[in-house]
């Protein structure tokens, strides 16, 4: 039996914005995470089945989740929750984007959530490729620190700039050849979480942008998780196709 059109519409509307999607039910009387002030509007939900999640959240089945400022909804029935992680404590805190009743066709729902997630990733990659100044398949031949700050002058979210020397094997966008210097934040600060940190010997496709800075001789920069991608023949064919 196919999913009702109303269910498909909700998934396509909320799915692209929700990195964590699961079925679950409200736990009446359960205490929210201690990170939440007693006066805050929050409910606790027990996760039944994870439909979409980052690797760190894949094991949340059976666990409790605190929802901040929950959307109106029935507490008596199992529901599908579309949320964004907000904090990590003794339970995970999330902000709700929306919810709906769990359909009978749960396997079809799981498939649709996966399809929407893949479509969202593809469109994000297509847009990021379009905004890149250059896209190259390259091997990292070295990396060194180029940050101009010291321990005494660094700000709270200082990027700690490093530069990687890339040996360009093929230019997929632009005309770069030979050796290329690209900058990346080596800091572990939350502001730079997910940024690529290339190391000597890495073989990858690099999406290079400009951020208006020129540090250590490097004007091109890697800032986003998808700025460094696998470089198999299949991956390169896909990237070329998305840029056509």
Condensed to tens digits (0 to 9), the pLDDT of residues 202-228 reads: 999 999 999 999 999 999 999 999 999
Q: Which of 56-65, 175-184, 201-210, 232-241 has the lowest mean pLDDT?
A: 56-65
Only one residue has tokens 């599908």, namely 80
CA–CA gap between residue 61 and residue 59 (Å, rounded): 6
CA–CA gap between residue 210 and residue 169 (Å, rounded): 21
Only one residue has tokens 């998780």, namely 225
> What are the tens digits of pLDDT across the range 153-201?
567 779 999 999 999 999 999 999 999 999 999 998 888 988 999 999 9
Residue 130: CB partners within 8 Å, gap ≥ 6?
Answer: 243
Q: What would the DSSP string read from start to end of 2-23?
A: PPPHHHHHHHHHHGGG-SEEEE
- Average pLDDT (108-112) is 96
Domains along the sequence of the chain with CATH: 5-123 (2.40.50.120), 132-242 (2.40.50.120)
Q: Tell me the pairing of strands 203-215 and 228-229.
A: antiparallel
Query: What is the pTM (predicted TM-score) of this model?
Result: 0.79
Only one residue has tokens 């709906």, namely 100
């Amino acid at each position: 039996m196919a999913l009702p059109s109303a269910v498909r519409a909700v998934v396509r509307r909320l799915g692209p914005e929700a990195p964590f999607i699961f079925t679950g039910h409200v736990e009446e009387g359960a205490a929210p995470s201690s990170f939440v002030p007693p006066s805050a509007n929050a409910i606790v939900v027990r996760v039944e089945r994870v439909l979409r999640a980052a690797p760190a959240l894949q094991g949340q089945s059976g666990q409790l989740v605190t929802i901040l400022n929950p959307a109106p909804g029935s507490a008596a029935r199992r529901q599908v929750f579309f949320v964004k992680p907000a904090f990590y404590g003794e339970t995970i805190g999330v902000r709700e984007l929306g919810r709906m009743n769990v359909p009978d066709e749960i396997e079809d729902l799981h498939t649709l959530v996966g399809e929407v997630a893949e479509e969202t990733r593809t469109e994000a990659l297509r847009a990021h490729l379009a905004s890149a100044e250059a896209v190259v398949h390259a091997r990292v031949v070295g990396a060194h620190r180029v940050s101009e700050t010291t321990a005494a002058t660094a700000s709270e979210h200082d990027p700690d700039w490093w530069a990687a020397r890339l040996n360009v094997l093929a230019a997929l966008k632009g005309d770069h050849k030979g050796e290329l210097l690209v900058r990346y934040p080596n800091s572990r600060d939350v502001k730079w979480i997910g940024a690529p940190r290339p190391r000597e010997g890495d073989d990858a496709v690099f999406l290079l942008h400009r951020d208006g800075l020129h540090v250590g001789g490097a004007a091109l920069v890697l800032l986003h998780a998808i700025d460094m991608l696998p470089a198999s023949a299949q991956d390169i064919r896909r990237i070329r196709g998305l840029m056509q």
